[in-house]
Structure 1
């Protein structure tokens, strides 16, 4: 049996602001944007394919799982220093610069909703 991850949902306050972040700052492609109830169903993914991020409107009454901790979403870079420089140049804010870890390299960045994400290089 072969399994893979097809999508990961990111909860945001403002879907359009999130689309702008993921497409303009990170460089992902919008692959789906359609009505979904009172909101929109939006998917973005890295150029050339890969796991899609679903940008979903957050429920203001839902509890925050772990405040101020990175999501367990790791974006893998082939050259973390170059990727960090490119993303920071587009306005992506890093809360942790690339640092050497026992397993490789790690950095943490935030989206415009305050969600934190890992950037790594093995």
Structure 2
């Protein structure tokens, strides 16, 4: 089979705050922005292309119950609902640039026992964004 990853989905609670993080702090380009208010689906990705992230309103599926929506909101608030791992050739430089924007730092760059150097931030909706050193 010849498969590739086209999109990853990360929920947002405030589209403008998410844009400030993914576009302004991480340097991603906006390739699509549809909807209005908090009901916006915003596609962002690296300027060089490749897999994109779709920032979506959480729990908008009509089949989700109010109880499930509440559970999702609670998990998002804890930072336990969504995560993504990005890669860069220089994790220390990226960390410094993103930290300078005021992003929520979870972990400064560190060498992990499993063989990677990485850092972590939390996006405005609580999603964990880990950035690993690319070998």
How high is the TM-score relative to the length of structure 1? Answer: 0.84
Q: Would the aligned equivalents of 2:11 and 2:82 in 1 still touch at CA under 8 Å?
A: no
Identify which of 78, 87, 107 aligns with 1:96. Answer: 107
Bigger proportion of residues as helix = 2
For 2:88 and 2:131, the matched residues in 1 are separated by: 7
Q: Would the aligned equivalents of 1:70 and 1:118 in 2 still touch at CA under 8 Å?
A: no
Partner of 2:25: 25
Bigger proportion of residues as strand = 1
Q: Which aligned pairs between 1:59-70 and structure 2 lie closer than 5 A?
A: 59=59, 61=69, 63-64=71-72, 67-69=78-80
Q: Would the aligned equivalents of 2:14 and 2:124 in 1 still touch at CA under 8 Å?
A: no
Identify which of 79, 95, 98 aligns with 1:84. Answer: 95
- Greater C-alpha radius of gyration: 2
Q: How many residues align?
A: 121
Q: String of CA shifts for 1:23-61, please: whole Å, max 9, x gaps.
A: 11111110001238x822210001111211101111371
Cα distance, 1:71 vs. partner? 4.0
Q: Which aligned pairs between 1:1-122 and structure 2 lie closer than 5 A?
A: 1-35=1-35, 39-59=39-59, 61=69, 63-64=71-72, 67-69=78-80, 71-101=82-112, 102-121=114-133, 122=135
Gaps of 5+ in 1: none
For 1:89 and 1:70, the matched residues in 2 are separated by: 26
For 1:5 and 1:24, the matched residues in 2 are separated by: 24
Cα distance, 1:70 vs. partner? 7.9
Gaps of 5+ in 2: 60-65
Q: String of CA shifts for 1:83-106, please: whole Å, max 9, x gaps.
A: 111111222222111110132212
